[in-house]
Structure 1
Amino acid sequence: MSDRTDGRSDGTSPEESRPSISFVTPRYGADIIGGAEHAARMLAERLVQRGWRVEALTTVAGDIQRWSPGYPEGETTESGVVVMRFKVDKGRDPRFQLLTRPTEFYATSATENEAADYLELQGPVSNELVEAIRESDTDHVAFYPYLYHPAVYGAKTVTDRVVLHPAAHDEAPLYLPMFRELFETAPRIVFHTGAEERLVRSVFRISQARRITLGLGIDPAPENAPDNGAEILGFDPAQPYICAVGRVDTLKGTTMLADFVASYRERHSVKPNLALVGTVAVAPDEKPWLKITGPVSEEEKWAIIKGSSALISPSYYESFSLVMMEAWSVAKPVMVNSRCEPTREHIERSGAGFHFGDYPEFEVGLELLLEQPALASELGTRGQKYVTDNYSWRAVMERYTNFLL
């Protein structure tokens, strides 16, 4: 950092006088689409645009299955954010699910040692990253999400500067004892939805924290974005299709969704195709009407959403669901899993879709969307208004900066 003050009366340099923040995530990069890391990057880049000094402290990990290296170690500047990546000392143990199943099952009664073992086996463990967090000189240190080793151990070193973005779900790890200190000492906590805050307050005592329900801002679809999703997917343009965007994984509900669509096709004359768009962890069985794309470009993602009849969010565990907002931003109706309270809350607040708890509810909702186009259009329009009113980047960033300052 320069010692030059440019004549400031308080002796500080222009660089020192700027508000500053570090974002700590397990991985960071423009090619990571969706999830907490994507949300953190969006906030970081927009704070740069508002004149903040912003750094990202992270690991070299490129995937979440093993936290294998995907980026080189060292410092880069990406969209104005100074990104510092550190080596991973321990990735996700191949036996993680097997070894931690008892700990998750008995999470509320797990010992501190069992919880610490859970974090070590889950990864990513990076001792250099924790040390970099300790040495950071920014006004705030934002941890996004709560779940991983860097947040638990890094926050201990900068307690009074912590801004915790939990991205919490009602999942077993939330109840492990080592997270209590993280939540109950954080001076600032940022939630995606009211449902997430209610969940956290039911588990932890967080009265010490200044809190905000922020959500996320939505990038508009590219101007003149095509709606040739059927062509990209290889579907017959004369047949409707629905899509789910995000990790393809049984735990994200995509296998259930494929099964539900198979049953729907057997029972109805209008037989929709299904596109599962995103990184593949556990794929459903192949079907001629099912397309699993793997990762796609932003342009392809928007084309697939715009060309669809509806977006489906089958996941049990979401803290916000950016892709719901993206679908609504282009006036597409949405259906979500009733067991996911944050996404159900969006549906109930917006009136822009349906939620389903079982196959019969899914069938009724999808039939309405496919066979009543005027209703589908009205729901999409409501969703578009909901996003404009609540999740424009300007509104989100004004709330966030006021919260931090």
Structure 2
Amino acid sequence: MNVAFIVPRYGAEILNGPEHHCRLIAERLSAIHKVEVLTTCASDDATWDNAYPEGTDRIRGVTVRRFANAESRDAAAFEACSERVFGTPHSAQDEELWLRRRGPWCPALIEYLEQKHRTYDTLIFFSGLHATTVQGLRVHPKRSILVPALRDEPALGLELCKEIFSLPAGIAYTTTVERGLVRSRFRVRAQAEDVVGCGVDLPHGLDPLQPEPVDDSDEDDEPADGNGWNAPTRGALFRRRHRLFRPFALCTGRVRPGKGCEELIEYFGRYAAQQGDAELALMGVKLMEIPDEPFIRLAGTLAENNRLEAFGAATVVLAPAPRDSLALHVLEAFAAGTPVLANARSDVLTDHCQRSDAGLYYADGDEFVECLQLLVGNAELREKLGRNGRRYVAEQYSWQAVLDKYEQLIAAVAPRRSTRATGGRSRGGQSRPRRGREPRNR
């Protein structure tokens, strides 16, 4: 099969959001199908400035075609347009203008898709509320699969969203929460849909049913495996490298307002004021001022090949974002056997914690302090939650399970021929695209 992924931006250095999700799926499916990525030349989703050269590139075995954006985002114009479409009666043209102002605006990509769409058996669009998706879905909806990456936000009230969910032949939801949100708001006409999410690797040699490896900081250093994991010295090398000698709570991703980071630092200050022993390790690009507090450790950025090592080294992984569509970092923490403390305002985060029984969540500062004290101070609880998290990932988010679901969706919308030389069956067996597997409640 020839499969095209259409996504607003794409690059190995993008380690969050639907773009990261798209790359992980594209790289895995490239071992099965002929995969191309159609994207813009932007690297920054705040400006959509063209940063990469136009043309064809090759990233980790995947062909990437980049098209230049016709304009960058004008923040003032976008804000004014948002006020109009969200606050006053408006027309369909106003919503189309809002889509353009939001960005990216890339007529060259859409023109290429209009000319070449017949060369692809399936078109997979990531991130619903961008022009690359909305305009692209209109080109060949019967061969299109949408990965919405939606959160509950004012934009869902736009008439434009009704069109988005009336077009694609297939929908790959990221979470059960997202599927419930979409079904409660829109009439879905897709012939195939499923909750798919993103695959997560368990560290090599780690049995999800066994207790966590013992951490012994006095042991001699031993080389970690390909996932940065070493059972006898779980996390010791990472902690030494970053001089994290006390228990620490890890927060990864971009540190910026709107992601719950300001509130997190305030709440952690309350924990520290009550003689809390753990440190707060921030690993990610800093896009806001960080207060000079003794409990905060600025530990640089987190490389992709060190993610499981970092999550395994942490005492607790924090998920402070009030809105999250994917929560891949939470699943990676579960895979590493580390419990999560999440913001209860995020339905996605609380759903993962409840279904996995591998994390706690807080609604205010008092609950944050109480939960963090409990997790840091109770090794037996951490081990139990860690074991639950590893089991949850192994059962629901293994790469084989995720790729099987994509194979079923592709088979449902692509021309009538087998996706492999297997008589039309995926690795998971007979394709049954409408019946998504619900995560097992615990």
Using the size of structure 1 for normalisation, the TM-score is 0.89
Q: Percent identity?
A: 30
Is the aligned partner of 1:225 residue 2:229? yes
- For residue 24 of structure 1, report the CA deviation from its aligned partner: 0.4
Residue type of the alignment partner of 2:322: Y
3-state SS in 2 of match to 1:250: coil
Q: Determine helix, strand or coil for the equivalent of 2:400.
A: helix
Greater Cα offset, 203-212 or 312-321? 203-212
Offset at residue 369 of structure 1 (A):
0.2
Given the alignment of the two structures, is residue 121 of structure 1 paired with residue 112 of structure 2, yes or no? no
Alignment of 1:252-267 (within 5 A): 252-267=259-274
Counterparts of residues 17-56 of structure 1 (less than 5 Å) = 19-50=1-32, 52-56=33-37
1:246 paired residue number = 253
Q: Distance in 1 between matches of 2:381 and 2:75?
A: 48
Quickly say closer, same or farther: Cα 1:97–1:372, change in 2 above 3 A: farther
Over 3 Å counting, the alpha-carbon distance change for 1:400 and 1:61 in structure 2 is same
User: 1:15 matched to which residue of 2?
Assistant: none
Distance in 2 (CA, whole Å) between partners of 1:68 and 1:396 is 33
Instruction: Give the aligned residue type for 1:114.
Output: D
Residues 283 and 302 of structure 1: CA distance in aligned 2, closer, same or farther (over 3 Å): farther
Alpha carbons 2:344, 2:350 under 8 Å: kept:
yes
Counterparts in 2 of 1:167-186, with a 5 A limit? Answer: 167-186=149-168
Instruction: Note if 1:313 corresponds to 2:319.
Output: yes
The one-letter amino acid paired with 1:143 is: F
Structure 2 distance, partners of 1:220, 1:195, is 24
Structure 2 counterpart of 1:312, one-letter code:
L
Q: Distance in 1 between matches of 2:286 and 2:103?
A: 20
Q: Counterparts of 1:58 and 1:363 in 2: how far apart (Å)?
A: 43
- 1:82-161 paired onto structure 2 within 5 Å: 82-95=63-76, 98-103=79-84, 105-106=86-87, 110-134=90-114, 135-136=116-117, 137-161=119-143
Shift of the alpha carbon at 1:209? 4.1
Give the 3-state SS of the residue equivalent to 1:128 in structure 2.
helix
The CA distance in 2 between the partners of 1:97 and 1:370, in whole Å, is: 44
1:65 and 1:201 mapped to 2: Cα distance?
30
Unaligned runs of 5+ in 1: 1-18
Q: TM-score, normalised by structure 2?
A: 0.82
Alignment of 1:246-395 (within 5 A): 246-267=253-274, 269-293=275-299, 295-395=301-401
CA deviations over 1:176-215 (Å, ceiling 9, x no partner): 2222211122211110111101111122111444210011
Letter in 2 for 1:254: C
Deviations 1:44-95 (A, max 9, x none): 1111112x11110001111112122332210123333221000011122132
Greater RCO, 1 or 2 (C-alpha within 8 Å, sep 6+): 2
Measured against aligned partners, the alpha-carbon deviations of 1:310-350 in whole angstroms (never above 9, x if no partner) come to: 11111122122111111111100011111111121111111
Tell me the CA shift for residue 101 of structure 1. 4.7
**1:294 deviation in Å?**
5.2
SS of corresponding position for 2:30? helix
CA distance in 2, matches of 1:304, 1:224: 8
- Shift in Å at residue 298 of structure 1? 2.4
Per-residue deviation, 1:167: 0.6
Which among 183, 200, 209 is matched to residue 182 of structure 2? 200
Displacement, 1:261?
A: 0.3
Which structure is higher in helix share? 1
Say which SS state the counterpart of residue 201 (structure 1) adopts.
helix
TM-superposition CA deviations, 1:230-287 (whole Å, max 9, x none): 344444x0x21101122222211111111110111112x2332112222333344332
- 1:232, 1:300 within 8 Å by CA — same for their partners in 2? no
97 and 160 in structure 1: CA distance in 2 versus 1, 3 angstrom threshold: same
**Contact 1:91-1:122 within 8 A present in 2 as well:** no
> Is the 8 Å Cα contact of residues 171 and 190 (structure 2) preserved in structure 1?
no
The residue type equivalent to 1:392 in the other structure is S
* Residue 296 of structure 1, CA deviation: 2.8
State the shift of 1:303 in Å. 3.5
Name the CA shift for 1:110/1:264 in 2 (closer, same or farther; >3 Å). Answer: farther
Task: Name the SS for the 2:258 alignment partner.
Answer: helix
Cα 1:295–1:65 change in 2 (3 A) is farther
Aligned positions, number: 382
Structure 2 CA distance for partners of 1:381 and 1:101, relative to 1, 3 Å? same
1:335 partner letter: L
Q: Distance in 1 between matches of 2:243 and 2:385?
A: 27
CA contact (8 A) 1:232 1:304 kept: no
State the alpha-carbon separation in 1 of the partners of residues 41 and 101 from structure 2.
18
User: CA distance change for structure 1 residues 284 and 113 in 2, over 3 Å: closer, same or farther?
Assistant: farther
User: Gaps (5+ residues) in structure 2?
Assistant: 204-225, 412-442
The AA in structure 2 aligned to 1:72 is: P
Q: 1:392 Cα shift?
A: 0.8
